[in-house]
Every structure is written in structure tokens, then in C-alpha cells.
Amino acid sequence: MKIFLAILSVLAFSPAFAGNVFNSSLPQRAEEAVSNAIQSECGHISSLSLVKMTVEEIPVDQGITDAIIQLTLNGTQKIDQGMFDNYTIKASILYSDLYDHNSKEYGAYHVNALSCELQ
């Protein structure tokens, strides 16, 4: 758990991982996965900000550790000129400690649950 949190904190303070979710310590690829899932499931929601994040480690074998990351986000959706709806978004991301052939990097992120609730 400490190793995974250390990796997340190092990545969060790296300028290369500045993402589109305010107040987030997730790597850029995880933020992109969440943003893409939100856009496809909930529509165009902007001004995403992280409210809560929990990480549950899953030991696999011989030092390999996967994780389930639970996120609670707030966002707004423009519905008309000067009118906005506020949403609470809950997402569950599965982090797998494997080689991701799409990004050519280690570690793959998959959004396996997402809900958007109008406030």
C-alpha cells in the first residue's frame, strides 16, 4: 500500500502528469480514462474536481499488486446560457500492474463502474 501511494504521490507532483481533474493525484492516463468514461456515460461534464479518493490494494503474486481506486468527483454541465447543473460522479477504477500495449507503459487503468447523480 505504501509503495502504491508513494508512486501516486510522485506522479502527482510531476508536471508531465498535470491532468484535467482539479485537486487530483492520479496519473494522466487514469484521469483520461475517467474523463472519457464520464463523457460517454454522462455527457459533457466540465470543471471536474476530486472530492474523495480511496485505494484498496489487491496483492496478486510475488510483489505484483493491483488496486481498486474509488473516486468521488464534482462537475458541472452547461444546459443553457448561464445555467448549469451540478453532478456528483462516483467512479471505480481498476489498476492492473501489467504492460499496457496501447500506451507502451506499465500499468493499465480500466473504469469498471461509473454513476452520475444530479445534485
Give 67-109 pLDDT, tens digit per residue. 999 999 999 998 888 899 999 999 999 999 888 888 888 889 9
pLDDT at 10 (0 to 100): 42
pLDDT at 5 over 60: no
For residue 80, what are the domain limits?
2-118
3-state percent helix, strand, coil for the chain, nearest multiple of 5: 25, 55, 20
pLDDT at 87 (0 to 100): 95
pLDDT at 100 (0 to 100): 83
What CATH number has the domain bearing residue 103?
3.10.450
Q: Give how many domains the chain has, as a whole number.
A: 1
CB 21 within 8 A of CB 33: no
Q: What percent of the chain has pLDDT over 90?
A: 54
